[in-house]
């Protein structure tokens, strides 16, 4: 499987940098949240970076991405600019959604990034519909749909898988199984905890992958996308991952033990890749320092960009509820 991937030192460095961008950016977001620069809900992706980075590095520029409310990592890995993401969280007009969506509703037309959806499972039919449009318009693009394992209990998961399989639509369902739907463990919410196996009943090909390993995720995604293009059918990828932080900023994490978190942190995606690269002489400490500095500079620039952004004038409150009036009736 991995033989299909062109894994070299430069590529691994690139993947590491992408994961570092997400990790450090979100650490900064937590800080800014404490300073009340960012409000609303803030759902951090820390611990799950290998999933977004692994998947996005395989997608083409024409593919569409539908994400969840924990989507800063998806947006960054997809190529949405860090400044516009942070400005969105600040609620400024320079934000990627003009400040109208906030942390949970990042959108970006240029990179075909269709949200940012705060309704669990709500993005699954939408992604299926985008895939239907691709098929009908004979576009080669596929639609990648991220969702958490909590969404699997929603009817929309089952409705969407059924429709995608029934109509043979080019959609990649990516389950980010981090074990907890907010504070409810998978074993408490699903009778069948193997999510990939659920795809079987819809006749959908599926695979499970170590979501803490960016190379594995990338390899599995490559296989998935090749399958989708070749067979014009959906595919489900279950990435086993873990979020190191709470569900949101208001989570006191009463539902899990510190030892469990520590156990997962030991196999964290950034740590794991750094160790592997060091052991194989692919990364010098000085190079890691350099990457960190580049990332830090990007974050500083993003903060400056967000701070400098304009507030939308209140007169524009009604803007974008409806499209501009058409001249013809």
Partner 1 sequence: MVSETMSYREALRAGLEEALIQDPRVFLMGEDVGRYGGCYAVSKGLLAQFGAERIIDTPLCESGFVGVGIGAALGGMRPIVEIMTVNFSLLAMDQIVNTAATLRHMSGGQFNVPLVIRMACGAGRQLAAQHSHSWENFYAHIPGLKVLSPATHSDARYMLGQALADPDPVLIFEHVMLLNEPGTVPENPDAPMDKALIRRLGTDISLMTYGGNLPKALAAAEQLQQDGVSAEVVDLRCLRPLDKTTLLESVSKTHRAVIIDEGWQTGSLAGEISAIIIEAGFWHLDAPVKRVCSAEVPIPYPRHLEQAALPQVEQIVATAKAVMEGR
Residues that bind partner 1 (CB under 8 A): 64, 95-101, 105, 107-109, 114-117, 119, 122, 124-134, 136-137, 143, 155-156, 159-160, 162-163, 166, 319-323, 326, 328-329
Least distance (Å) between residue 118 CB and partner 1: 8
Least distance (Å) between residue 127 CB and partner 1: 6
Q: Which is nearer to partner 1, 124 or 195 (CB)?
A: 124
Least distance (Å) between residue 156 CB and partner 1: 5
Q: Which is nearer to partner 1, 250 or 322 (CB)?
A: 322
Q: Which is nearer to partner 1, 137 or 254 (CB)?
A: 137
Least distance (Å) between residue 101 CB and partner 1: 4
Q: Which is nearer to partner 1, 120 or 212 (CB)?
A: 120
Q: Which is nearer to partner 1, 155 or 313 (CB)?
A: 155
Least distance (Å) between residue 5 CB and partner 1: 30
Least distance (Å) between residue 318 CB and partner 1: 9
Task: Kindly give, in sequence order, each residue whose CB lies less than 8 Å from that of residue 179, ignoring residues fewer than 6 positions away.
Answer: 149, 185, 186, 242
Q: Which is nearer to partner 1, 79 or 129 (CB)?
A: 129
């Amino acid at each position: 499987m991995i033989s299909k991937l062109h894994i070299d030192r430069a590529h691994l460095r690139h993947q590491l940098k992408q994961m570092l961008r997400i990790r450090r950016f979100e650490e900064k977001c937590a800080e800014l949240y404490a300073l009340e620069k960012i409000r609303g809900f803030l759902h951090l992706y820390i611990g799950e970076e290998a999933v977004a980075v692994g998947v996005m590095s395989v997608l083409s520029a024409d593919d569409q991405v539908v994400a969840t409310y924990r989507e800063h990592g998806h947006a960054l890995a997809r190529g949405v600019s860090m400044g516009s993401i942070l400005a969105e969280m600040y609620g400024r007009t320079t934000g990627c959604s003009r400040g109208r969506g906030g942390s949970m509703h990042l959108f970006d037309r240029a990179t075909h990034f269709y949200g940012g959806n705060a309704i669990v499972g709500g993005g699954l039919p939408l992604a299926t519909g985008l895939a239907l449009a691709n098929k009908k318009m004979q576009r080669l693009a596929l639609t990648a749909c991220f969702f958490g394992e909590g969404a699997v209990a929603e009817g929309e998961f089952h409705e969407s898988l059924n429709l995608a399989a029934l109509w043979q639509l080019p959609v990649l369902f990516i389950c980010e199984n981090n074990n907890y739907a907010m504070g409810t463990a998978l074993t408490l919410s699903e009778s069948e905890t193997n999510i990939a196996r659920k795809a079987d009943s819809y006749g959908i090909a599926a695979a499970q992958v170590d979501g803490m390993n960016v190379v594995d995720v990338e390899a599995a995604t490559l296989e998935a996308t090749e399958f989708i293009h070749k067979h014009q059918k959906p595919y489900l990828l279950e990435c086993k991952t873990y979020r190191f932080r709470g569900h949101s900023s208001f989570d006191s994490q009463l539902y899990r033990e510190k030892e469990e978190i520590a156990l997962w942190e030991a196999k964290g995606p950034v740590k794991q890749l750094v160790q592997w690269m060091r052991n194989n002489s692919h990364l010098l400490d000085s190079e890691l320092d350099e990457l960190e500095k580049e990332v830090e500079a990007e974050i500083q620039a993003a903060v400056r960009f967000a701070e400098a952004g304009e507030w939308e004038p209140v007169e524009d409150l009604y803007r974008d509820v409806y499209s501009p009036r058409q001249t013809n009736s």
